[in-house]
Amino acid sequence: MAEILVLVDHVDGAVRKTTLELLTLARRAGEPAAVFLGTGFDAARDTLGEYGAAKVYVVEAPELEQYLVVPKAEALAQIAQSSGAAGVLLTSSPEGKEIAARLAVKLGSGVITDAIDITVVASEIVTTQSVFAGGYTVTAQVTRGTPVITVKPNAVTPEATGGSVGAEEKVAVAFSDAATKARIVDRKPRAATGRPELTEASIVVSGGRGTGGDFAPVEALADALGAAVGASRAAVDSGWYPHAYQVGQTGKTVSPQLYLACGISGAIQHRAGMQTSKTIVVVNKDPEAPIFAMADFGVVGDLHTVLPQATAEIQKRKG
Amino acid sequence: MGAAPASRNPPGLGGRNPAMKIVTLVKHVPDATADRTFNAADNTTDRAGVDGLLSELDEYAVEEALKIAEAGDGVEIVALTMGPDGADAALKKALQMGADSGVHVVDDALHGSDALATAQVLAAAIAKVGDVDLVLTGMASTDGSMSVVPAMLAEHLGLAHVGFVGELTVSGATVTARRDGDVASETIEADLPAVVSVTDQINEPRYPSFKGIMAAKKKPVETWTLADLGVDAGAVGLDAAFSVVREVTKRPERTAGTVVTDEGDGGVKLAEFLAAQKFI
Ligand SMILES: Cc1cc2nc3c(=O)[nH]c(=O)nc-3n(C[C@H](O)[C@H](O)[C@H](O)COP(=O)(O)OP(=O)(O)OC[C@H]3O[C@@H](n4cnc5c(N)ncnc54)[C@H](O)[C@@H]3O)c2cc1C
Ligand SMILES: Cc1cc2nc3c(=O)[nH]c(=O)nc-3n(C[C@H](O)[C@H](O)[C@H](O)COP(=O)(O)OP(=O)(O)OC[C@H]3O[C@@H](n4cnc5c(N)ncnc54)[C@H](O)[C@@H]3O)c2cc1C
């Protein structure tokens, strides 16, 4: 069976959940092989093996950390070519898309972004995408070259195989002049919140203008549910919550099991970022708010009383 | 860009040599608030049946170019779009905001082009404009919203690309950019010429002024075909696409859920729903 390359998304060897999802999807299409770029592979080995990476390509080079994206694209292109892989899967993050874009041009291959599912039809990889702010579902396939596909977080539940990495191949890459044109001169890690990563979380509680600037009830409900916190652009633009937590067209796209929209009206740009959530719950004091049209469950009421009551009830039920 | 062809007098320049030349990419897209749909015959985006406009996120690129121009001397801004007849409406908006000239790449052979073909054609157009120092783009179009064209362009042109930039400064032959990623905020330095895509955090796009609207009427717009760019018509368009749409399905409206009005027990009812759905 041909190899399906999975680019590992990691921070110093801590593998992100999206990578485990990609490995799970890759198994449908071929033999998953992980591509690990940068330092920290020892910390990642067991996890990658456990989720089905029979083989891992490892590239360690200072350029991968010093320069933006291009060294990663060059390394991945080299491995895709030498391994004769049948496809390359990456996470639909800004970085994943940039790498995919350059990789597709280098390989002369078609690219599909933001897949929410992957199936195999007559031994071809077929993707499912949700387009036009979730209004349409489209299935597509790459018809030339090695399919380069970026997949949204939460496309699938990661399934462990209980395997281990059988083969490790260290790859040396000679980077081109083009690889060193954009230098990373400073890097400030984002402060940890103790909550799950927004794009990976299975529950997201979001607040909008209706919070009036007080996110405490939103955060308390999120913590009771073990959820991530999100925000509408109106809340972000008002300076109530950092931009990194904005959900929508120009923020993060989330696709959790459960999305709670609190004091959010449901503008199309917001819906674009959460429409593929499995279950949607709304708290809004205006019964005419468009967001109710997509709610599985809604409460017409003031979030400042409804959320604390829900939080207390959840804590009571959890004992 | 050294490799530009000799006959590259950019539109409207009249041979003047600007200190800096910026190309801003402006895509013409179907209005997101209208009912966007697909052509039944070939599953391509319906660009005729729906009102179009300048992709909102490209206004931030135009604005950033204008800010750079206002801060320095001799900065020339060329707005560039690729799209069918009518796509020049996107150029018009950019010119009204303050860009100096426009280029519209239009050719029937382009219908159904994928991201790779789009990037190839835009790269050829940028090379033809010639001597470009900076290419500014939006972070994503509001229709395809792939966020790949800028990096593909950079790959074709052999340039640096800094994507999703929230703050930009240009000094001398270097751009410095801040981008706020998932796990960190990074500062990037790149040498010009470079391609930079900007987010909606970078500025507040201006509305065209009355003066701007009047001035735009006199600004030059050139129309280029694939032949003008030396791009093979067989290499672009639907038949040459590297990916194909198999099926398009309108997402069923979400079935209306239960909505209750808070009568003092709204929070409890919410918790009951979550418990029934096994979220607690
Ligand atoms: C180019 C562009 C990109 C954009 N990108 C995004 C994006 O990524 N994400 C995004 O979210 N938006 C985005 N927007 C903005 C979007 O159009 C809306 O303006 C925004 O989503 C509105 O946020 P909101 O729902 O919080 O505020 P509003 O629309 O003002 O809604 C507030 C809601 O809160 C309710 N409310 C008020 N008080 C209470 C209370 N006490 N209890 C309960 N409910 C209450 C109101 O009834 C109302 O429905 C973008 C816009 C543009 C032009
Ligand atoms: C719903 C949908 C799904 C699609 N899926 C795929 C797919 O999976 N694979 C594929 O290869 N193609 C796909 N396409 C086609 C692809 O979107 C178009 O070819 C498009 O021209 C390039 O991608 P984008 O619009 O997503 O641009 P993005 O990469 O999101 O654009 C970023 C920026 O590049 C600039 N730009 C992009 N296009 C133009 C233009 N024509 N003129 C001027 N500036 C421009 C703008 O500044 C824009 O803000 C899809 C199109 C649609 C509508």
End-to-end CA distance of chain A: 50
pLDDT at B252: 78
pLDDT of residue B42: 81
State percent of chain B over pLDDT 70. 93
Q: Which residues of B touch A197 (CB under 8 A)?
A: 182
- In chain B, which residue's Cα lies nearest the Cα of A179? B160
Are A105 and B33 within 8 A, CB to CB? Answer: no
Are B188 and A182 an interchain contact pair (Cβ–Cβ within 8 Å)? yes
Domain boundary residue, one of A117, A147, A180: A180
For residues A39 and A153, state if they share a domain.
yes
pLDDT over 80 (residue B3): no
Interface touch B256/A110, C-beta < 8 Å: no
pTM over 0.80: yes
CB B11 within 8 A of CB B101: yes
Please tell me whether residues A37 and A159 are part of one structural domain.
yes
CA distance B66 to B95: 11
Write the ipTM.
Answer: 0.92
- CB neighbourhood size of A254 (10 A): 24
Decide if A150 is inside a domain: yes
For residues B32-44, average pLDDT: 76
In angstroms, the CA B198 to CA B186 distance is 14
Beta carbon of B64 within 6 Å of any ligand 2 atom: no
The confidence score (pLDDT) of residue A92 equals: 94
A27 annotated as belonging to a binding site for a ligand: no
With respect to residue A266, please indicate whether it lies within any of the assigned structural domains: yes
- My answer on whether A271 and A147 are in the same domain is no
Judgement on whether residues A208 and A80 belong to the same structural domain of the protein: no
The CB-side HSE value for B187 (13 A sphere, CA atoms) comes to 7
Whether residues A164 and A278 share a domain: the answer is: no
A297 domain-assigned? yes
d(CA B231, CA B210): 38
- Cβ separation of A244 and B160 shorter than 8 Å? no
- Residue B92 tokens read as 């018009």
Range 157-186 of A in CB contact (< 8 A) with B: 178, 181-186
Q: Say yes or no: A99 and A159 in one domain.
A: yes
Last residue in a domain, options A117, A146, A180: A180
Q: Which residues of chain A have pLDDT under 70?
A: none
Report all structural domains of chain B as residue ranges with CATH numbers, in order of start.
Answer: 20-240 (3.40.50.620)
CB A239: neighbour CB atoms within 10 A?
A: 9
Q: What is the mean pLDDT of residues B218-245?
A: 93
* pLDDT digits 0-9 by tens, B9-31: 344 443 456 789 999 999 999 88
A195 part of a folded domain: no
Q: Is the pLDDT of residue B224 over 60?
A: yes
The answer for residues whose C-beta is within 8 angstroms of residue A31's C-beta and 6 or more apart is A1, A2, A3, A4, A54, A55
Give B163-218 pLDDT, tens digit per residue. 999 999 999 899 999 998 877 899 999 999 999 999 999 999 999 999 999 999 99
Residue nearest to atom 22 of ligand 2 (CA): B115
* A88, A248, B25, B240: CA torsion to nearest 10: 40
A66 is in an annotated binding site: no
Beta strands in A160-264 (DSSP E): 167-170, 182-189, 203-207, 228-231, 258-262
Beta strand A182-189 with B184-191 is: antiparallel
Distance in angstroms (rounded) separating the CA atoms of residues A145 and A127: 16
Please give the pLDDT value at position B10. Answer: 43
By DSSP bridging, strand B243-250 and strand B167-171 are unpaired
Q: Which ligand gives the minimal distance to the CA of B139?
A: 2
Q: What is the mean pLDDT of chain B?
A: 90
> Are residue A267 and residue A209 in the same domain, yes or no?
yes
Is the pLDDT at B2 greater than 70? The verdict is no
- Is residue A253 included in any domain, yes or no? yes
Asked if residue A40 is part of any domain, the answer here is: yes
A65 and A124 part of one domain: yes
Among the atoms of ligand 1, which is closest to the Cα of residue B142? 1
> What is the least distance, in Å, from the CA of B226 to any CA of chain A?
20
Residue A14 shares a structural domain with residue A149: yes
Closest-approaching ligand to the CA atom of B241: 2
pLDDT of residue A296: 96
**For residues B84 and B112, is the Cβ–Cβ distance under 8 A?**
no
Q: Please report whether residue A74 resides in a domain.
A: yes
d(CA A160, CA A271): 32
DSSP secondary structure string for all residues of B77-91: EEEEEE-STTTHHHH
The answer on whether A233 is annotated among ligand-binding residues is yes
CA of A197 to the centre of ligand 2 (A): 28
How far away, in angstroms, is A272 Cα from ligand 2 center? Answer: 16
Hey, are the CB atoms on B262 and A300 less than 8 Å from each other? yes
Place B79 in a pLDDT band, splitting at 50, 70 and 90. Answer: very high
Based on the fold, state whether residues A41 and A117 are members of the same structural domain: yes
A198, part of any domain: no
Instruction: Count up the domains in chain A and report the number.
Output: 2
- How far is the centre of ligand 1, averaged over its atoms, from the C-alpha of A264 (Å)? 5
CA A77 to chain centre: 22
Pairing relation of β-strands A258-262 and A203-207? parallel
Q: Does A241 touch chain B if contact means CB atoms closer than 8 Å?
A: no
Residue B116: band (very low, low, confident or very high) from pLDDT cuts 50, 70, 90 = very high
Cα–Cα distance for residue pair B61/B54, rounded to 1 Å: 11
Is the shortest distance between the CB of B107 and ligand 2 below 6 Å? no
pLDDT score recorded for residue B5: 39
Q: Please give the residue range of the domain that contains residue A57.
A: 3-180
Q: Which of B182, B250, B256 sits opposite A135 (nearest CB)?
A: B250
Shared-domain flag, residues A263 and A168: no
Tokens of A13: 């060897």
Q: A19: which 2 tokens? A: 């990578």
Same domain? For A173 and A216 the reply is no
- Cβ–Cβ under 8 Å, residues B113 and B237: yes
The enclosing domain of A147 has a CATH number of 3.40.50.620
The answer to whether the Cβ–Cβ distance between B199 and A250 falls below 8 Å is yes
Which residue among B32, B143, B267 places its CB closest to the CB of A306?
Answer: B267
Give me the pLDDT at residue B6, please: 37
